[in-house]
Amino acid sequence: MPWLLDGNNLAGGSHRESVRTAALALARNERVRILVFFDGAPPAGSAPIERLGAVEVRYVGHADGAIVAFLRGKGRGWRVATDDRDLGGLVRAQGAEVVSGAAFWQKVASSGAGFVEAGTDRGCGVVESLSGLRDTTQRLPDGPVRIPRGIRRHRRR
């Protein structure tokens, strides 16, 4: 089931990179699609929409409104991670499953991504250990980049 993340809510307002990194790790280890919405402008040098394989990160003026608009009429089959009660009610009405931020971070930790969570005032999972991702052959990019698809080889018939 694909995930839709209320990015700023999960980040506690100041740990956007940890949410982005967690989404990349979860998508890689669980082979799921993840869509992340952040309130506000993208970091310097980043596009408003980043497509990183199975992860898409969108920087929008109002994430809650963008999430509800995205799910309108097609919410069934999506899992939304947020602790925002109002947003949770709106996306449930669209047929989406709502999980808490803690459940999202627990899923990331249990997915074999090598994350160790550190508590903050909001309980968001700040990445302290990326040992599972420090494979020199498959490093995550340090910033936003386009990840090329693999070369497909066709068999002769």
Q: Write down the pLDDT at residue 69.
A: 94
Rounded to the nearest integer, the mean pLDDT of the chain is 79
What are the chain's domains? 3-133 (3.40.50)
Task: Report how far Cα 22 is from the mean position of its chain's Cα atoms.
Answer: 7
Residue 129 pLDDT: 39
Q: What CA–CA distance (Å, rounded) separates 54 from 27?
A: 6
Find the mean pLDDT for residues 118-137: 40
d(CA 98, CA 149): 31
Whether 77 and 2 have beta carbons less than 8 Å apart is answered as yes
Report residue 107 as tokens: 């899923």
What totals of helices (H) and strands (E) does the chain contain, helices first?
A: 5, 8
pLDDT, one tens digit per residue, over 45-86 is 889 999 998 999 999 999 999 999 999 988 789 999 999 999
pLDDT single digits (tens) 36-54: 999 998 888 889 999 998 9
Helices (H), the chain: 7-11, 16-30, 63-71, 85-93, 101-110
Cβ(109)–Cβ(131) under 8 Å? Answer: no
| Residue 118 or residue 44, greater confidence | 44
User: Is there a contact between 9 and 82 (Cβ–Cβ < 8 Å)?
Assistant: yes
User: What pLDDT is attached to residue 139?
Assistant: 57
Cβ(20)–Cβ(51) below 8 Å: no
Residue 105 has pLDDT above 50, yes or no: yes
Query: What is the 8-class DSSP label of residue 147?
Result: P
Q: What is the pLDDT of residue 46?
A: 86
Per-residue confidence at 146, pLDDT binned at 50, 70, 90? low
45: alpha, beta or left? (left if phi > 0; alpha if psi -120 to 50): left
For residue 156, the model assigns a pLDDT of 61
